[in-house]
């Protein structure tokens, strides 16, 4: 049977899309998955265009794959995802070894596209918008956790972002199709789902009749077998009191929220076209803290946005301290061709971006450590993911607030179990715990 190797760059939406593409290609037994590119007959690269560095990584990988193609001229190479939508001409010019270029709207037709390359023996290009299709195919490798796309696209038009171009306008999948997919995942053993959307908390407003994410969470909560529900990425602009209450009231919804701030400076937020101020963001944080005890907050930040001064950056650092994030992703601003920010004056030199990035990460590390320490001595529920990366004799799991806990399962606990542990030590990037229960640790 021919073999498929998939390489994924970028966000969780891409991971999900890769799973779907692999699922479609393997479900009819046309392909089987391989982890070794040299064994593959088809290699798919699922790409990200959010930063220039991400694009360069793909071109460098394509350069490496050239040697494989020389050894095996029958090897097919496909590029999918955001870069395919945005950089189709550059891909064809810089990487003529690529046989197939297709955007995420064409994933549903991946089998047909691959077949055309094989039959017609010429490069095939499929980019642009297409009708919204919910793929109900099973994943190629079902596990304990799964991503489920609930909506595609974004209409926010943040001035630094290519997503509205690469993924198109906001379109929600129907609750029935989402629930059907999750029921199928639950039957295959999935215990935790993460609902995905570029602006997931805008879910449902384009449907007839309109609905919202809180209503969808309530429905997913009713599915047998699913024990935990998460959702990303939320936009502060669309965060409602109703969704905040859903975080508190719906039992399977985990107390963790990723709420991108991007900048702590009102001037920069306006230039970014984010649609909120630092004051509004802090109001939301206050409401979240008051409503959802124990909520873990994480965020995304961009440093070195055009025009960002030291004072603007200091306000971002100040927000990190005030909010007290459990974790964050800081990105150096990357100029994306075709976006309004790329043409803005005051582009920040790379060395300044690097310095600011280092500083904000240092502060974030300190803030996160301060949030972890009080967890020592507390009993927490974890879902067991598998062996610990550091010590395979131990197990590793995640709390509802998404922290990694390593512990000794004492031979009593297996993957997928939900157990209670007492946190014995808070380390910089994980926690250590001891199993709580009969004949075990008492917290």
Residue 232: CB minimum distance to ligand SF4, A: 11
Quote the CA–CA distance of 183 and 225 in Å, as a whole number: 8
* Structure-derived torsion over alpha carbons of residues 198, 202, 203, 208, reported in degrees to the nearest 10: -130
- Are 368 and 326 spatial neighbours (Cβ–Cβ below 8 Å)? yes
- CB of 75 or CB of 154, closer to ligand SF4: 154
Task: Give the contact letters, 227-246, x = binds to ligand SF4 (CB under 6 A), - = no.
Answer: --------x-----------
Compute the distance between CA of residue 261 and CA of residue 158 in angstroms, rounded to an integer.
12
Q: Which residue in 163, 253, 269, 297 binds ligand SF4 (CB under 6 A)?
A: 163
The nearer residue to ligand SF4, 113 or 151, going by C-beta atoms, is 151
164 binds ligand SF4 (CB under 6 A): yes
* Given 69, 156, 173, 432, the residue binding ligand SF4 (CB under 6 A): 156
- 396 touches ligand SF4 (CB under 6 A): no
> SS3 for 425?
strand
Q: Which of 150, 161, 217, 271 binds ligand SF4 (CB under 6 A)?
A: 161
Q: Which is nearer to ligand SF4, 225 or 337 (CB)?
A: 337
Check residue 275 for interaction with ligand SF4 (CB under 6 A). Answer: no
Question: Which residues, in sequence order, are bridge partners of residue 421?
Answer: 380, 435
Strand partners, 111: none
Which range binds ligand SF4 by CB under 6 A, 21-29, 153-161, 278-286, 335-343? 153-161
Q: Nearer to ligand SF4 by C-beta: 305 or 407?
A: 305
For residues 179 and 150, give the distance between their C-alpha atoms in angstroms, rounded to a whole number: 10
| HSE, side-chain direction, 13 A CA sphere, residue 270 | 6
Dihedral pair phi/psi, residue 57, rounded to 5°: -60, -40
Task: State residue 250 phi and psi, 5-degree precision.
Answer: -90, 115
d(CA 245, CA 82): 34
Considering beta carbons, is residue 200 or 220 the nearer one to ligand SF4? 200
- Applying CB under 6 A, the site for ligand SF4 has a residue count of 10
Q: Which residues in the 175-204 window bind ligand SF4 by CB under 6 A? A: 198-199
Give dist(CA 45, CA 95) in Å, integer. Answer: 13
Q: Does 158 bind ligand SF4 (CB under 6 A)?
A: yes
Q: Which of 154, 226, 261, 292 forms a contact with ligand SF4 (CB under 6 A)? A: 154
Question: Which of 29-37, 137-145, 161-169, 413-421 is the region at the interface with ligand SF4 (rule: CB under 6 A)?
Answer: 161-169
Stretch that binds ligand SF4, among 54-62, 111-119, 155-163, 324-332 (CB under 6 A): 155-163
Burial of 60 (0-12, 13-18, 19+ CB in 10 A): exposed
Which ranges of 72-174 would DSSP assign to H, the alpha helix?
A: 82-86, 88-94, 110-120, 163-166
CA-only gyration radius of the chain, Å: 23
Q: How far is the CB of 304 from ligand SF4 (least distance, A)?
A: 16
Residue 87 touches ligand SF4, criterion: CB under 6 A:
no
**Binding segment for ligand SF4 among 149-157, 203-211, 307-315, 394-402 (CB under 6 A)?**
149-157
195 or 226, CB closer to ligand SF4?
195
Distance of closest approach, residue 159 Cβ to ligand SF4, in angstroms: 9
| Integer Cα distance of 298 and 302 in angstroms | 14
Rounded least distance, CB 366 to ligand SF4, Å = 27
| Residue (62 or 200) nearer to ligand SF4, CB | 200
Minimum Å distance from CB 156 to ligand SF4?
Answer: 4
- Quick one: which of 326, 251, 249 has its CA closest to 292? 249
Residues 6+ apart with CB under 8 A from 128: 85, 103, 105
Give residues in contact with ligand SF4 (CB under 6 A).
Answer: 154, 156-158, 161, 163-164, 198-199, 235
């Amino acid at each position: 049977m021919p073999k498929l190797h998939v390489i994924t760059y970028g966000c969780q939406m891409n991971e999900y899309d890769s799973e779907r593409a692999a699922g479609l290609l393997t479900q009819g037994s046309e392909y089987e998955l391989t982890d070794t590119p040299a064994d593959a007959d088809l290699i798919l690269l699922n790409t990200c265009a959010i930063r220039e560095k991400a694009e360069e990584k793909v071109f460098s990988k394509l350069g490496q794959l050239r040697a494989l193609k020389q050894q095996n001229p029958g090897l097919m190479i496909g590029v999918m995802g955001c870069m395919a939508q945005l950089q189709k001409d550059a891909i064809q010019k810089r990487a003529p070894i690529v046989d197939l270029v297709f955007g995420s709207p064409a994933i549903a037709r991946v089998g047909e596209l691959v077949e055309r390359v094989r039959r017609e023996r010429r490069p095939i290009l499929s980019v642009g918008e297409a009708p919204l299709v919910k793929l109900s195919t099973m994943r190629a490798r079902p596990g304990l956790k799964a991503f489920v796309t609930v909506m595609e696209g974004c209409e926010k038009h943040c001035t630094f972002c290519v997503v509205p171009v690469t993924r198109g306008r906001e379109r929600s999948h129907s609750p029935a199709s989402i629930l059907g997919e999750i029921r199928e995942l639950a039957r295959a053993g999935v215990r935790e789902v993460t609902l995905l959307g570029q602006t997931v908390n805008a879910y449902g407003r384009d449907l007839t009749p309109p609905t919202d994410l809180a209503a969808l969470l309530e429905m997913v909560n009713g599915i047998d077998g699913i024990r935990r529900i998460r959702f990303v990425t939320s936009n502060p602009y669309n965060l409602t009191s109703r969704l905040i209450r859903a975080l508190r009231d719906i039992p399977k919804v985990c107390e963790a929220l990723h709420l991108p701030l991007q900048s702590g400076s009102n001037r920069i937020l306006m230039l970014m076209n984010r649609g909120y101020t630092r004051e509004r963001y802090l109001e939301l944080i206050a409401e979240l803290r008051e409503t959802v005890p124990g909520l873990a907050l994480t965020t995304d930040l961009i440093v070195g946005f055009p025009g960002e001064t030291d004072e603007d950056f200091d306000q971002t650092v100040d927000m990190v301290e005030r909010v007290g994030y459990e974790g964050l992703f800081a990105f150096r601003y990357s100029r994306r061709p075709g976006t309004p920010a790329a043409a803005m004056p005051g582009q920040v030199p790379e060395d300044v971006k690097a310095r600011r990035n280092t500083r904000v990460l240092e502060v974030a590390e300190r803030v996160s450590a301060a949030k972890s320490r009080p967890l020592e001595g507390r009993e927490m529920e974890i879902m067991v993911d598998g062996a610990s990366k550091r010590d395979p004799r131990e197990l590793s799991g995640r709390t509802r607030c998404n922290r990694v806990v390593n512990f000794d399962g004492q031979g009593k606990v297996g993957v997928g179990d939900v157990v209670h542990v007492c946190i014995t030590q808070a380390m910089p990037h994980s926690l250590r715990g001891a199993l709580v229960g009969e004949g075990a640790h008492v917290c």
